[in-house]
Amino acid sequence: MRLKDKVAVITGAASGIGRETCLLFAEQGAKVVAVDINEKEGAETIRKIHNTGGQAVFFKADVSKAADCKNMINTAVEQYGRLDILFNNAGIMHSKDDDAVNTEEEVFDLTYAVNVKGVFLGCKFGIPALRKSGGGVIINTASFVAKLGAATPQIAYTASKGAVLALTRELAVVHARENIRINALCPGPLKTELLMKFLDTEEKKQRRLVHVPMGRFGLAKEMAQAALYLASDESSFVTGTEFMVDGGISSAYVTPE
Ligand code: NAD
């Protein structure tokens, strides 16, 4: 078991990457606090973990709210006595996110509140708990769009993920000597709710796949495996990195037919 007796808080736990990571971390021996705004699907994540004999509790929180983030960390400490791993993974891609001219200010602000402030707040309350544990790990979910310009505009989302990388770099440097490793996970295009809602026609899906050398969407399970590496002691000298798990999209100029 690669995470035996570690205590992990995972946000965005009701779906996609967050859910698969909860299942995998629990299977690897972690005690999981699964956090999401979606109580119904969050409960389903917990049911799946309990069915396989894992340990987990659900905590309903909106990561853009300070009080919620404080309480999600407190839940880990109260339930399981400590915090070792914080996965700031919850994120949104608004259906009305567009180019700079056509994106409403409210869409931009909401995207930043969840995708950027959510990461900041997780760290604000998570770092003191990690210090008490003698160190630990933070993983922040960014995206390949933080590194590459997309022709399908989503200006608020793209900017928010760039901010996640900047946050991650500074956090990693500032907390390196406290034995806290902080890395960003940069998924490529995935077959999850979030992207499939956005690429809602076969034509849009194919348009995106043209750029992926592997010629397919990634799976949430594949992101969970990458998060497991970053969370485990196997990555003990890895901090401040932008871990691209993207089917080769960030390396491609022209993709094979
Ligand atoms: P998803 O939509 O399947 O899951 C996201 C989860 O976050 C949902 O359960 C949702 O309820 C929760 N959530 C949304 N707002 C929240 C809030 N304010 N507080 C708490 N929970 C909230 O998406 P996913 O594909 O699993 O995405 C997870 C992360 O990966 C996101 O940060 C996303 O931006 C990033 N990402 C996804 C892709 C992709 O192609 N799907 C690519 C790169 C990065």
Question: How far is residue 240's CA from residue 48's CA, in Å, rounded to a whole number?
Answer: 32
The answer on pLDDT for 210 being more than 80 is yes
Q: What is the CATH number of the domain that holds 100?
A: 3.40.50.720
Atom of ligand 1 nearest to the CA of 190: 40
Residue 253 counted as domain residue? no
Task: Give the model's confidence band at 9: pLDDT under 50 very low, under 70 low, under 90 confident, else very high.
Answer: very high
Active site residues: 157
Residue 107 in any domain: the answer is: yes
Decide whether any atom of ligand 1 lies within 6 Å of the 42 Cβ.
no
The answer to whether residue 4 scores a pLDDT higher than 80 is yes
Nearest atom in ligand 1 to the alpha carbon of residue 41 is 9
Domains in the chain, number = 1
Residue 231 banded pLDDT, cuts 50, 70, 90: very high
pTM for the whole structure: 0.98
Kindly list the strands in the beta sheet with 136-141, ordered across the sheet, starting from the edge strand earlier in the chain. Answer: 55-60, 31-36, 7-11, 85-88, 136-141, 180-187, 242-245
Ligand 1 center from residue 65 Cα (angstroms): 16
For residue 133, being part of any structural domain is answered with: yes
Ligand 1 probe mutation, 48, 194, 221, 250, most atoms within 8 A of CB: 194
User: How is residue 233 written in tokens?
Assistant: 């002691």
Range of the domain at 60: 7-244
Residue 26 is assigned to a structural domain of this protein:
yes
Q: 24: Cβ–Cβ under 8 A, 6 or more apart, which residues? A: 221, 224, 225, 227, 228
Cβ–ligand 1 distance for 14 under 6 Å, the answer yes
